[in-house]
Structure formats: structure tokens, C-alpha cells
Amino acid sequence: MSVVSTASEPSDTDTSSSTSHYPLPGHISAVGLSNAQDQSGQKRRHALDLVHRLQNTGVQTDIDLPQIAVIGNQSAGKSSLIEAISGITLPRASGTCTRCPTECRLTNDPAPDAAWKCVITIRTITDRSGQALGQPLNEPFGEVIYDKAQVEDRLRRAQRAILNPHISRSQILLGDDELNDGRALTFSSNYVSMQISGPGVADLSFCDLPGLVRSTKEGSTDDIALVEGLVESYIKKPSCIILLTVSCETDIENQGALHLARKYDPKGLRTVGVLTKPDRIAQGDEDDWVRFIKNEGDHKLLNNWFCVRQPNSTELREGITWEEARNKENQFFTTHAHWRELDPMYQRYLRTQNLVGRLSSILSDLISKRLPEIYNELQLLIQKTHEDLSKLPKEPSQDPFSDISAMIHGFIVDLSKLLEGTPEHDALLQCIRPHQEKFKREIRRSAPKFRPYEKESGPQTTMPRFEFLDNEENEQEGDDDEDNLSANRQPIYIEEVYRRLQDARTRELPDKYPYIIEEWFIQQITQQWSAPSQELCLFVHKTTLEHILRLVRLRFAEFGQGVLERQARLIIEQHMKDRLEATKDRIKWLLDLEYRPFTMNTHYLSDYKNKFLSHYKMCRLEQGPNQRVHSALQSLQLQDVSRYSNSDGPEDILRQILTALGRLGITADSTDLVKLLPEDEMKPALDIMAEVRAYFQVAYKRFTDNVPLAIDYEMVKGFERDFYQYLTSKLGIHGPNSSAICRELAQESTQVATRREELLKKLERMKAGSDELSRIV
């Protein structure tokens, strides 16, 4: 499985020469995590091979795969440790040489005729601005290498190519090894991938990252943050085994890698500690470091601390072999008393070979535990990715004209249903209806507030209700009361009507009055109808437009880059503006019709004139000199005419009159007796009042029907008439440039397209990972 290091830095035990490495003799097996030959070792190898295949699918982007990350400060001996574990020599140079990650995958090929080979690839995961790419780009860097001596130089050049993206790869690959124009990046998250296979090669992989920078003396503030972020991106994952490398020549509390490990693994459950450079321990401090091996003190770890000893600078320059290096390590721990005298139970935590065995066991156990979990996580992620894909707009087809035509047709069908009316409580017609009722009430309130008595007695007199309207107007709650009907109008007393009547006389005969008086009163009423009509018109316009634009968003919002939606909105707003103007013209026309009184419903007008006239006369009798007789007539209406006494009371006298008329064969009732009273001098004014009030009943009902009908015809249903042709014409999808226009309208949003591409690639790699796992899980 993955062995990940955070640096290939020089130290006091490193050299600056490119040949400073110890060779690996052919008769010595490669050291690695999967070189065991027993049955247990074979199972481990199969598990490691499976995780390698999962890494090849790229699922580590989405799933937490088991891995080992080696972390430590610069000069902590990580490079020498990785070389001892893997048998691979890393590039070395003076100063900090590893400024970009280097991934190394090792595969053992036991075939008799197998040849050692190495393929180096540059993997780009961010662009030049540092923005992450949706999918990594893999580019081979040079030909396949069959000579181990060429690997170190090729790796160095590949790292330089990443740090100098402005220079062509071929120039760096084939040109001067020291090529540098001063514009190189300090660090980069793009990395080199090295795949090595052949006999004697261990089965493992690691990623060598820049070492942790301890201070601004070793790098800028940005460098410190960048390197620390790279390290954290590995060790924060729950399935990452942290191989914490600590140099014995530096106070442990001053080594930042320890603090990072404790930050992400505070209980030490997945950290393996490694003490390096034990030959550099200051005399007298040995017991302090031996305490780590005994897992005592403040830095206890579940998997304990180990101690290894790697070749120093002199031994590397002399060309020490791997076998000699291991012998030197054994000799060191055997001859130094502090290590030699440790109990056997602690001796197993000394030497590289013991560390490798323990790491192999920890990693294989973690892989065995995680594989079923990884399989389940992949299935859930596959399902979630399918759901995310389904939420995206439909991918544009190769025939945008058909797509747009189908969308517009569907929109027109939905538009027709919307304008015709749907049963939802918040649908268009349901929103309009309350304002139509309000409009009707406003028109009713414009009824003239006639008072059939003199102004002096008017303010103290209450006008009785029009009870004969009760069965006709289903809008009571007091609205048919004369005062409520005309709440915003000043009372018009009978003497004012009479005065206007007399002032308007010209050549009329006696007892005749000019028609212009009635016309004037009616025009005063109809002039009040414009404001409520326009208010209703504007409300219906606003509400209808909102509902239609809501439908536009529903149908077009997620199509392409929103161009179709924006153009449709502009076209609809203009079309609705045109319908508004046409509707206003229609309302004005209706108002103009009402300017001059007219009706063919003469029976309705005559009937109401008689009712209003009787009502006004009765009201006037209640206040006039014949009030006593009027009261007697009202009482008589509630009594039996045949029952009377010999008294001289008004009711008895009137009863005797009606009885006598009956004996003469004349049928009459109490209301007929009113005609016997002297004629009211205000009778012409009462006639005008009754005529105007009766005409209002005819006109207002007609108008409160016609205006909503006109608005519905011209604006609501009128919007739909010929709108399909209007919309397609304005969009130009049936014109000479229809193909180009449809392609532009159908062009998908870059954000949506990128999101779909990311999800499809994610789905592809997860399915590939699932296929690999399904073979064994």
C-alpha cells in the first residue's frame, strides 16, 4: 500500500552528490511491506495489489483509502528512512530539493524473464493560477527507463518541469540540467508519478512531499502554509497511518511534525513513531530517548515508537550496500548499552526490519477492515452521484431546434391552462377574483346619496334602508344602506336638486324639466368609475405577468445559459405591456359609453324608479306636515281593516274609508290613500332623484360585468391569442438564421457542463473501483 513521505531533504547524513546512494545488490531481496512468502504474506500482497488498483481508478479522490504517510521536519532523516524501507534512492541536492510531490509505485514482477523498468509521468491537478482541475492530467515525461542510473536525473528534471510551467517540457527533459530563468515556482501541488516494476522490487508505494518548513529562515510564510497544508491533506484522513519521523539530534518539542500528528490523532491511535539518527544523541540524554521505546511519558502511541539507524554521509560516499547498512544498524543497537540492555519485549521496536514488519501488519489489518466499508461507501456514493446528476438540467441534444421547439410547445400548453384557470387556491383566477369583488364594491359606493328632505332636518334624520334590494343584492353586511353605499359622497338634499331643476329650465312647458339635469347627475357618478377600473386593470396586469414569468422560470430557467429565459421574459413583458395598453383603451371605451345615459332595459329601469320614488316619498312624508296621517297609514298596514271602533282616531277614520270604498266595489289599500294627500311641491325633484338612482342600478351592474370581462378578454385570455407566433417570431427560431439562433439559445452553462463532467468522471472512477472490489468483497 501507499507509503507517503513529506520530503526528500538533505541532512547531516545526506550528501549533495547525485550519486550519493547505496546500491542494492542483485542477491539481496528488495525491502518492502509485501515481500513475505508465507500464506499470510500472500494475502497481504493481494490486499495491497487491490488497493493499488483502486488507486489507479482515482477513487482516492472520493474514498478514504488506507495509506501510510511519513511526516517530519526537514533534516529529520525521512529520505534515508524511505530508502531503507523501499530500496529506492531519491534525488538529493544541497538545500531543499523536493518542492513538489513525488509519487512512487513499486510492483514486484517475479517472472524469470522480467526486466526492471520505470515510467515517469507528470500529473497536473491545478492550473498555473493554483485552481484545482476537475480531473487530473497525466502526461508521460520521457521514454521508459530501463537503467536505474537514469531514474534520479529524470526525477529531478520532472520536478523542475513542474516548477517551471512556462518552459516547454521537452526543453527541460533534453536541455541543460541546470536550466533556470529565475521564474521557478517555490512549491507546487502538481506532482511526479513514478511507476517501477521488475524482479526484486517491493510491492508498495509512497509519495514524497516537501518537508515541513520550520521557520521563515528556511522559506517564506506562504511556503510554510503550503507545505503544512499538503501534509495535513494526508494525515487528516481517518484511514491514514501516520509514520512520524523524529530526529534524535533535535528537541522533540521543537519538531512541528509531532504537533501536527497530535492535532489530527490526539490519542495516538493511528500514529507510528520513528526515532532517527540515534547516533547523534547527546551524551547523557540516552535515557530520555529510550523512554520513547518503552512508550512512557507524554507521547504514548498505540502502535509504539521505533528506532532505526541509517547510513551517515561518510558511509554513503563510500558506497555502502543495503546489506552492509543493515549490518551496521544491527551492530549499532548491539554495541550501545542503552539499546542493548533493553528487555526483549522492547528489542522488537529497534531496527528497520522490525519497523517494516510492524507497518506491514498494521496496514494489512487496516485494509482488511476497510475493504467492506469502502465497498459500501462506493455504492452509496454511486447512488448519490446518480441523484446529483438527475438534479442537473437535461443535457442538450444534438438537435437544439427540436429541443427549443418542444420546450416552447410545452410552455404554450401550460400557459393556456394557466390563463384558462386551474383549481389551486393560489392560481391566477383565484388571485384576481377578490379584487374583482373589491372593484364591484367600489362602484356600488359611488351611488348618489340623495336625501328627500330639506337640509335643515337632514343631518338629524336617518335614511332608512332600501329593503327592496335585499333579495337582489347578495352583498349585504350593511352595504345596501344608503349611507354605506355612498360613504365617500356628500349628501344631496332635495332642495339642491330642485334648485338645479329650476335653474336649468329654458323653454320647457310647466311641470316639465330639462333632461340635462338627469344627465349631469349621472355623469357625476360615472366619472368616479375610472379610478377603480384602472386599479383593477393594473392589478390584473401585475398578477398575470407574475404568474406567467413564474412559468417561464419553471420551463426555461435551467436551459442553456439562461439566454432563452431572459429573451422570453423580455418578449413576454413587452407583449403584456401591449395587452395592458389595449385593455386600457377598452376600459376607456366602456367609460365613454357610460358618459351618456342609455338602456334598453326599460322595464327594469321603470320598476326601480317606482320603488325608489315610493321610498323617497315615504321618507318625505315622515318629515312633512302630513306626518300624522303617514303614521296612521303605517299602523293600519299592521292591523285588520275589518276591525275598528267608533273612536275618532286617525287609524279608525282611515279604516272606515277603506271599508266604505270596498262596499262601493273599489279595491284599495292603505298605500293608495297616500294619493289623496296634497301633491308635494318637490315632486319634480323626487322624480329626478328616483330616475337617477334607478338608472344607477341599471348602469352599475352592467359596468361591473363589462369591465372584468373586458380585462379578461383583452389581457388574460387575450395574452394567449397568437402568442405562439409572436414568441417564435421574436425569438427568430423559424427565420433564416434559426439554426445559429437555436445553437446559441441551447448552449449549456459552463458551470452546469463542468458540474456534469465532474460527476460523470466521479461516477466512472467509482464504478471502476466498485468493479475491482466486487471481485473479492
Do 538 and 557 belong together in one domain? yes
Domain membership of residue 137 (yes or no) is yes
* Long-range CB contact pairs, 214-223, < 8 A, 24+: 214/73, 214/74, 214/254, 214/256, 218/74, 218/96, 219/96, 219/186, 220/186, 222/186, 223/186, 223/187
- The 8-class DSSP code of residue 22 comes to -
Question: For residue 477, which phi and psi values (nearest 5 degrees)?
Answer: 65, 35
CB count within 10 Å of CB 593 equals 14
- Distance of alpha carbon 189 from alpha carbon 646, whole angstroms: 124
Q: Cα 471 to the chain's mean position, in Å? A: 56
Minimal CA–CA distance to 436: which of 697, 714, 696, 709? 709
Domain membership of residue 232 (yes or no) is no
- Cell of residue 149, nine digits: 542510473
Do 333 and 193 belong together in one domain? no
Minimal CA–CA distance to 87: which of 28, 31, 143? 31
- Distance of alpha carbon 558 from alpha carbon 94, whole angstroms: 56
Q: Are 330 and 212 in contact (CB under 8 A)?
A: no
Amino acid (one-letter) located at 523? Q
Residues in the chain: 777
Q: Are 747 and 563 in contact (CB under 8 A)?
A: yes
Q: Is the dihedral of CA 294, 297, 302, 307 positive or negative?
A: negative
Taking each helix axis from N to C end, the angle separating 683-711 and 516-526, rounded to the nearest 10 degrees, works out to 40
Q: How many domains, the chain?
A: 3
- Distance of alpha carbon 731 from alpha carbon 390, whole angstroms: 29
- Distance of alpha carbon 52 from alpha carbon 2, whole angstroms: 8
Q: Are 753 and 348 in contact (CB under 8 A)?
A: no
DSSP SS3 for 35: coil
DSSP string, 612-655: HHHHHHHHHHHHSTTHHHHHHHHHHHTS-TT---S---HHHHHH
Do 375 and 429 belong together in one domain? no
Do 502 and 422 belong together in one domain? yes
Do 491 and 599 belong together in one domain? yes
- Distance of alpha carbon 245 from alpha carbon 11, whole angstroms: 13
Do 304 and 416 belong together in one domain? no
- The 8-class DSSP code of residue 186 comes to S
Q: Are 619 and 493 in contact (CB under 8 A)?
A: no
- The 8-class DSSP code of residue 91 comes to P
Do 362 and 475 belong together in one domain? no
Domain membership of residue 640 (yes or no) is no
Residue 761 sits at the vertex; the CA angle it makes with 759 and 763, to the nearest 5 degrees, is 65
Give the mean pLDDT per block of 10 residues along the chain (777 residues): 45 38 42 48 70 77 85 82 73 59 75 87 80 72 87 85 88 76 78 81 68 63 81 89 90 86 94 93 90 92 94 83 88 92 93 86 86 90 92 81 91 96 95 96 94 76 81 51 55 92 83 86 95 97 97 88 90 97 97 94 94 88 65 60 59 78 80 69 91 96 97 96 94 89 83 84 86 74
Domain membership of residue 633 (yes or no) is no
Question: Which pLDDT value is given to residue 222?
Answer: 74
Q: Are strands 2-5 and 102-108 parallel, antiparallel or unpaired?
A: unpaired
Question: Which pLDDT value is given to residue 10?
Answer: 39
- Tell me which residue range forms the domain holding 185: 115-198
Do 39 and 163 belong together in one domain? no
Do 721 and 762 belong together in one domain? no
Question: Which pLDDT value is given to residue 480?
Answer: 43
- The 8-class DSSP code of residue 59 comes to G
Question: Which pLDDT value is given to residue 428?
Answer: 97
Question: Which pLDDT value is given to residue 626?
Answer: 61
CB count within 10 Å of CB 181 equals 8
Taking each helix axis from N to C end, the angle separating 750-774 and 352-391, rounded to the nearest 10 degrees, works out to 130
Do 738 and 762 belong together in one domain? no
Domain membership of residue 314 (yes or no) is yes
Do 431 and 494 belong together in one domain? yes
* Beta-bridge mates of residue 293: none
Question: Which pLDDT value is given to residue 94?
Answer: 43
DSSP SS3 for 192: strand
- Distance of alpha carbon 611 from alpha carbon 599, whole angstroms: 18
Minimal CA–CA distance to 452: which of 484, 482, 473? 482
Question: Which pLDDT value is given to residue 234?
Answer: 83
- Distance of alpha carbon 409 from alpha carbon 394, whole angstroms: 17
Residue 526 maps to which CATH number?
A: 1.20.120.1240
- Distance of alpha carbon 265 from alpha carbon 652, whole angstroms: 114
Beta strands in 56-175 (DSSP E): 67-71, 102-108, 117-126, 132-140
Of 181, 198, 215, the one marking the end of a domain is 198
Per-residue burial over 24-39, b if 16 or more Cβ lie within 10 Å, else e, is beeeebbbbbbbbeee
- List, in order, residues 6 or more apart from 599 with CB less than 8 Å away: 605, 695, 698, 699, 702
Do 350 and 421 belong together in one domain? no
Domain membership of residue 649 (yes or no) is no
- The 8-class DSSP code of residue 145 comes to B
DSSP string, 688-733: HHHHHHHHHHHHHHHHHHHHHHHHIIIIIHHHHTTHHHHHHHHHTT
Residue 247 maps to which CATH number?
A: 3.40.50
Beta strands in 59-167 (DSSP E): 67-71, 102-108, 117-126, 132-140
Q: Are 412 and 556 in contact (CB under 8 A)?
A: no
Domain membership of residue 229 (yes or no) is no
Domain membership of residue 670 (yes or no) is no
Q: Cα 587 to the chain's mean position, in Å? A: 44
